[in-house]
Structures are given as structure tokens and as C-alpha cells.
């Protein structure tokens, strides 16, 4: 079926709305009623949920997670958010993600939230690859290749 | 800009995926990571958030809420959920809403959650129109006309 | 350590604040900032989370879930909420739960939310016992005994 | 009524469980079912909600927010989280907060999450005082006095 639906934006689409290189992964979405708090704007905790879900989409769309169940687990070691302007009910926003650095067992991602007012929130996270026992383990090769070839992530 | 995005589905689109009359309002969406709980399925509290946001979309798309700030407030008096099958991460779902009854100050809506497994959850809610002081007040005429003409809601 | 903390209320404590028999299980708690929505009251989806967590406490406190990992799983088949008055930031509330009926594989619980304004919200849920494969299975004997002896649940 | 309930911990209580000076504000609480995610631990977005609610308690308990409605508003400009160990269902935790720096319109708070495993997560936030129009404004004197006298916050 061909119904209106969310899809990862292409680089051309990102550039077309003014989101510059090297951002190459993003999604357009709408603010949901339940994301608004007492101050009538998107609650700051919601941004971590947005980035978390975007990260899962990135893993899926870029083949790091596969439908045959090969889904390497990662946990968040550090996360930061920097708010420049608030987002309100009725606004559309684009989320962007990219991987900027990778070590043996961890990697760093950056995130952006874009509205008609430009880049309104940025975030970053250090993520650690864990095995089935919750112990840190080497990043899978597929992930390393994606981070390097598609995002230009530096080896650290 | 013409980017992939969520939009209210048309009646033709709903019928095309097997959602029967009289459902005429719906949205396709994807499950988000943060909506999953310890049991690895969409948490039951999330469904009320889905229906709440869908209700706001219904008010906006059907002209009950207007962009000039005319946004009659409603509160939930009763809400029920009936689960037939769970929804998991990676699944797409369509939410549907319609108004089935209206009184002087309240109205009843029904909701559905549809996946490739058919209608997996149903819900209903009795909503009360309130004024700026939180007192119940008559349903606006615009709302009554929408409920009656677009959903065939019965006057009770 | 003896620090201020939440504990299941005794029947005497419940009666002391005017919560009548046969309610015999409850918790006092405070509204959290993040539970408030745009309308400046506790969001309706939050009540299902309150009842869900209360249900887990009930299972633990009454020995249905044990610390050696014997934790029979249940899923929600139906849930209903009936709102009489809203709850706001700064308010304390008591949640109560009891089991009113049980069949072979399912049982019915009722819930209450009490503030200084009395019983402000009621809820009920039909819960189904499931096994490790997600198939419904007989209620454990421990659960049946608790439901019957402590709450007077009727066999249906 | 004297029922089991959450209360701000005293300095003696904090020291008694091994939380060192200069932490002087904290709350003991239990993990809620709905705070757990697919990875069976407290979701990282939940920590921001914990800190947000703790901040509100700090404002109330320390007289920055008063019950006559004098509740200066603050918004988050930056927030960071550093995870050392996960928190699971069934665990108790103590949250601590203190203000370490203050400027004319903003201040910096630090947060800690403590379990039987010690300090498992730290966070910090830069908060900006805003007026009724959402414009930044001078920190109220009451707040400055609390930050300085009770937490030893440095003027920057």
C-alpha cells in the first residue's frame, strides 16, 4: 500500500530544507499532544526519547540491525542536550543523526532538531556496544563500516 | 517542501487496506522504541496517548480546532481499552477514530488500532466539553455538525 | 536504614483516612511534574501507569511474585477508567487495588484514586495469566489464594 | 495523617547512607514498572524526568516556590547525563540535587542517583530564569540566597 508515512529523508531532501552536510540521516515528524508539558512546550525528557528512537531507525535503515534478528545492543554512557529554542504543539520538526567518532567498543553520535526556526536543539551521546551478558564488546564490523563510509566517523 | 510525512488517511485509503465503513478518519504510524515495555510490546498506557493525539488531529483536520486559536477544550470522563493482540517494535499500525454519539455537553468516540493482523485493539471514550473555568458547557455547533455529517453520530 | 519511604498501607491506615472496606491494599504518593499535561492536570494515560505499577506492588507485597524469580506474567485484556475529578501538581493521592473476580486463566481488579476530595477516579482491568510463550494459562494457586482470602474475590 | 510517605532527606540521613557532603538535598524512591524499557533497565529518558521532578521539590522545600503561587519559572538550557551502572525494577534509589553556580539569569545544578551500588548516574543542568513572556530575567533574591547559603553555590 502507498499511504502517507514517515521515511528516512534523503540527502537531497535534507539539503532542500536547508540542513547542511555532513548530516545525511533524518526524519520529519509532528509533535504529539502527550509530548507537551506544563510549560506548553515539548518536555526536555522527550528529546532523549526522540534521539533514542531515531538511533534505532538509523540502525535499521543502515543495515546495522537486520530483520533476521541480528540486533547488536548498545547502551548510553553519556548524553547531552543543548536547547536553543523550544518546540510547541502544532510544529513539525526534522531530527538528524550522525556518528562522529568510534573507538573499539564505543561510538559518539550527534543529533539535531530542526524546525522552521532552524536548528533548535542539539544533542550528543556516547554509546557502548554490549553483549548478551551486558559486558562491553567490540563494535560489529558492519557498524564500523556504516559509521566510516556514510558518516565519515573518525577512528579514535 | 514535499517530504515523507504523516497525513490523515482518506476513506479510499482506509478501504484499500481493509478498514470498513463507517471508519473515515485514520493515521498510519510506526511503533517507537520508547513505547515498548518490559514485556516487549507496546505498553497499555501508550494506547491512551495514541488516542488522545489522534483526537487532537481529528479536531484540527476537521476544523473543530482552528489555527486562529479557537480550540474548544474537552476532558475525558470515561475511557476503555480492549486488547485482542499485542503490537511490537517494528510494526506499523493505523489508528482510526469516529464519534458515535453526542449529547448537549458530551460525546462518545470510538477508536481502533489496526495492523497486518487486523483490528488488534479497540477503545472508546466519553468526552466532556469544558469552558475556561473548567465547567462543562454546550458542544460548539461546528463540532456537532462534524460529528453528525462526517461520522453519523446520533443525538442522545 | 530507616528513611522516609513509600510502603503499602495497612487496613487501619486506609480506614483512618476514610477509605472503606473492602479496600485493603493501597499506597500514598505525590504527583510528579512529568505527569502533568497541557491542561495542567494529571494526564489520563498516567492513571494506567499508576495502576500497572500498583498491580506489580500488589503481586510483590502479597507474595504472588517472589524474589527468587517466580513472577507469573499477566497481560491486560480490558481496562477502563472513570474520572470524577482531576488531580493536580502538589496533590497527594492514595491508590487502592483489589481483585474482585477470578476465572481459570483471568481475573478482574478494581482500582481507586483518592485525594482530599474523596474518590476521584476509578478503574478496572481484566488480566490474563500467560506462560513463557505468551499463551494463556491457569492462574497460579498462590494467586488464587491471595485473591480469595485477602480480597474475597468470587470464583466465576 | 501519618502515613508512609516520601520526604526530603536530612543531611544526617544522607550521611547515614554514605552520601557525602556537600550533598544536602535528596529523596529516596522506588523504580516504577513503567520506567523500565526493552533492555529491562530504567530508560535513559526517565532520568531527566527524575531530575526535573526533584528540581521542583527542591524549589518547594527550600521556599523558592511558595504555596501562594509565587513560582518563578525556569527552563533548561543544557542537560547532561553520565551513566556508570544501570538501575533495575525492584531497586530503591536516592536522588540528590545541589546548585553549584549562579550567574545573573542562570544557574547550574548537579544531580546524583545512588543505589546500594553507590553513585550510579550523575547529571547536570544549566537552568535559565524566565518571566511570564518567556524572556530571561534576573534570578529572584530568594533563589540566590538558597543557592548560596544552603549549597555554597559560587557567583559566576
Q: With an 8 Å Cβ cutoff, are B4 and A1 in contact?
A: no
A72, A139, A69, A43: which is closest to A99 by C-alpha? A139
Residues A17-49: tens digit of each pLDDT: 999 999 999 999 999 999 999 999 999 999 999
Most A CBs within 10 A among C33, C34, C38, C89, hence the mutation to make, goes to: C38
Task: Please tell me the distance from the alpha carbon of residue C75 to that of residue C130, in angstroms, as a whole number.
Answer: 7
What is the DSSP track for B37-79? Answer: -TTSSB-HHHHHHHHHHHHHHHHHHTTSS-TTS---EEEEEEE
Q: Is the Cβ of A32 closer than 8 Å to some Cβ of chain C?
A: no
Q: Which of residues 91-120 of B touch C (CB under 8 A)?
A: none
Q: Sign of the CA dihedral B9, B15, B20, B22? A: positive
What residues are paired with C107 via a beta bridge?
C102, C127
**Chain D residues touching A123 at Cβ < 8 A:** none
Please say if the pLDDT value at position D1 is more than 60: no
pLDDT at D7 > cutoff 80: yes
Q: Is the pLDDT of residue B33 over 70?
A: yes
- Assess D36–A contact: CB distance below 8 Å, yes or no: no
Q: What is d(CA A60, CA A71) in angstroms, rounded to the nearest whole number? A: 9
Which superfamily is assigned to D11-149 in CATH? Hotdog Thioesterase (3.10.129.10)
**What's the whole-number average pLDDT of chain C?**
95
Q: Which residue has the cell 511570564?
A: D132
Q: What is the pLDDT of residue B68?
A: 81
List, for residues B93-142, the tens digit of each pLDDT value: 999 999 999 999 999 999 999 999 999 999 999 999 999 888 999 999 99
- pLDDT of B80 above 70: yes
Q: Are C28 and C93 in contact (CB under 8 A)?
A: yes
**CATH of span A11-148:** 3.10.129.10
Interchain contact, D37 vs B37, CB within 8 Å: yes
Which residues are paired to A154 by β-bridges? Answer: A101
SS3 B114: strand
What confidence category does residue A1 fall into, taking pLDDT thresholds of 50, 70 and 90?
A: low
The verdict on a CB contact (< 8 Å) between B43 and D37 is: no
Angle between helix D44-61 and helix A44-61 axes, rounded to 10 deg: 170
Q: Are A9 and A94 in contact (CB under 8 A)?
A: yes
Question: Within a 10 A sphere around the Cβ of C127, how many other Cβ atoms?
Answer: 21
Q: How far is CA A74 from the centre of its chain?
A: 13
Is there a contact between B96 and B19 (Cβ–Cβ < 8 Å)? yes
Q: pLDDT of C72-127, one tens digit each?
A: 899 999 999 999 999 999 999 999 999 999 999 999 999 999 999 999 999 999 99
Could you report the predicted ipTM of this complex, rounded to two decimals? 0.94
Q: Which listed CATH number (2.40.50.140, 3.20.20.70, 3.90.1150.10, 3.10.129.10) goes with C11-151?
A: 3.10.129.10
3-state secondary structure of C70: coil
Write down the pTM of the prediction: 0.96
Interchain CB contact of D83 with A (< 8 Å): yes
Q: Which three cell numbers stand for residue D63?
A: 521556599
DSSP element (H, E) containing D108: strand D106-115
Of C4, C16, C28, which is closest to D28 when you measure between CB atoms? Answer: C4
* Rounded Cα gap, residues A146 and A142, in angstroms: 6
Nearest chain C Cα distance for residue A108, angstroms: 28
Say which residues have a Cβ less than 8 Å from residue C129's Cβ, sequence separation at least 6.
C72, C73, C74, C105, C106, C107, C136, C137, C138, C139, C140, C143
- For D138, the 3-state DSSP assignment is coil
For A27, the enclosing helix (H) or strand (E) is strand A26-30
Specify whether the CB–CB gap between D95 and D50 falls below 8 A: yes
Q: Are A104 and A83 in contact (CB under 8 A)?
A: no
Nearest CA in chain D to C13: D3
Q: Do A37 and C34 touch (CB under 8 A)?
A: yes
**What's the rounded Cα separation, in Å, for the pair A79 and A102?**
16
Look at residue B92 and tell me whether its pLDDT is greater than 90: yes
D75 close to A (CB below 8 A) = yes
B75 within 8 A of B69, measured Cβ to Cβ: no
Q: What are the phi and psi torsion angles at C105 (to 5°)?
A: -125, -5
Tell me the mean pLDDT in the region D94-115.
Answer: 98
**D73 touches C at CB < 8 Å:** no
Burial of C148 (0-12, 13-18, 19+ CB in 10 A): middle
- Residues C95 and C113: their CA atoms lie apart, in Å, by 5
The 3-state DSSP class for residue D51 equals helix
> Can you tell me the distance from the alpha carbon of D62 to that of A61, in angstroms, rounded to the nearest whole number?
49
CA Rg value for chain B:
16
Which CATH architecture best describes the domain B11-155?
Answer: Roll (3.10)
- Interface contact C45-B39, CB threshold 8 A: no
Under DSSP, is residue D115 helix (H, G, I), strand (E, B) or coil?
strand
Q: Which residues pair with B93 in a beta bridge?
A: B29
Tell me the chain B residues in contact with residue A30 when contact means C-beta distances shorter than 8 Å: 5-6
Q: How far is A69 from chain B, CA to nearest CA, in Å?
A: 12
Q: What is the DSSP letter of D107?
A: E
Find chain C residues with C-beta within 8 A of A40's C-beta.
Answer: 38
Amino acid at each position: 500500500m502507498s499511504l502517507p508515512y514517515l521515511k528516512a529523508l534523503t540527502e537531497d531532501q535534507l539539503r532542500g530544507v536547508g540542513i547542511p552536510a555532513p548530516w545525511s540521516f533524518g526524519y520529519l515528524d509532528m509533535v504529539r499532544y502527550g509530548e507537551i508539558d506544563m510549560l506548553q512546550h515539548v518536555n526536555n525528557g522527550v528529546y532523549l526519547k526522540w534521539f533514542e528512537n531515531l538511533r534505532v531507525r538509523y540502525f535499521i535503515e543502515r543495515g546495522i540491525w537486520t530483520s533476521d534478528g541480528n540486533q547488536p545492543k548498545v547502551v548510553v554512557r553519556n548524553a547531552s542536550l543543548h536547547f536553543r529554542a523550544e518546540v510547541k504543539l502544532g510544529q513539525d520538526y526534522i531530527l538528524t543523526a550522525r556518528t562522529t567518532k568510534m573507538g573499539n567498543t564505543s561510538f559518539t553520535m550527534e543529533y539535531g532538531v530542526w524546525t522552521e526556526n532552524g536548528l533548535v536543539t542539539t544533542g550528543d551521546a556516547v554509546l557502548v556496544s554490549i553483549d548478551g551478558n551486558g559486558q562491553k564488546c567490540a563494535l560489529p564490523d558492519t557498524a564500523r563500516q556504516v559509521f566510516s563510509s556514510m558518516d565519515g566517523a573518525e577512528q579514535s
